[in-house]
Amino acid sequence: MKPQFHLPLSTYPDASSFAIIDAIGLARQNDAHLVASIPQVRIPQVHPPFPTVIDVETWRGQAERYSRDSGTSMRGHIADAISETGFEVRIHGFEVREPFVYERFSEIAKCYDLSIVEASELSRQLSETLLFGSGRPLVLFPATSVYSRVDTIAVAWDGSATAARALSSARVFIERAIKVQVISITDDKEIDEANRALLISSLKHSGLDVDDVSIQAGGETATGAIQSAALERKADLLVAGGFGHSRLREFILGGVTRELLVKAELLVLLAH
């Protein structure tokens, strides 16, 4: 049974970057089917209670045409990207009314093994909606890098339930990996070392080459320290639990998840 990857592509109010279409390579390398969801956004009619200088109907038509044209461009770019590969990308086109676009993406994502979204401020709301609403893992695609094979996987391990779910969700990648790194920050929160040693032993018993990586964040944020450690050790994918605290607490205090959603420096798999 092949994995099913989902690529949600925004067309309004901001169109997804063409760079995210490089995620096709992630599906190809992992022998997965890929479905690209492309919405035609419909803007509800608005009847202002007071006279206004804004031509609401003209604006509504322009917004819907922008969504349509963005979707057409996305389809063309996908066709160009796969033209010489023999790889097939299924297109799921659908209509949705604003402001329910992200919620509809989340419903669609429930039907696939994971969704792939670009890590950027523009995509942050979509990423959060998918992470909380779909019940499926999310792969963040860094905007500044070119996709390469996932041979080495870094696991950000703090012993939490969300970290365990993320590790389980990453199985499709771990089964093909050459090495796994278990990275824990020892000066950020208390780590259950016996539990951590048991995880490493379990991974090794599965036949994996496992590196035990304990680090201190020092002056860095936890996100920065984890990503730096992963990149220094040539990791291709970072696996992390998403929103280990409540969403409100993460919003107020910041946190690893919120920073990764906009500043991922390598492929990141998140699960909540």
Q: To which residue do tokens 């989902």 refer?
A: 6
- φ/ψ of residue 216, rounded to 5: -115, 140
Q: What is the pLDDT along the chain (272 residues), one digit of tens a residue?
A: 899 999 999 999 999 999 999 889 999 999 999 999 999 999 998 766 656 656 778 889 999 999 999 999 999 999 999 998 999 999 999 999 999 999 999 999 999 999 999 999 999 999 999 999 999 999 999 977 666 689 999 999 999 999 999 999 999 999 999 999 999 999 878 899 999 999 999 999 999 999 999 999 888 888 899 999 999 999 999 999 986 544 444 443 346 788 899 989 999 999 98
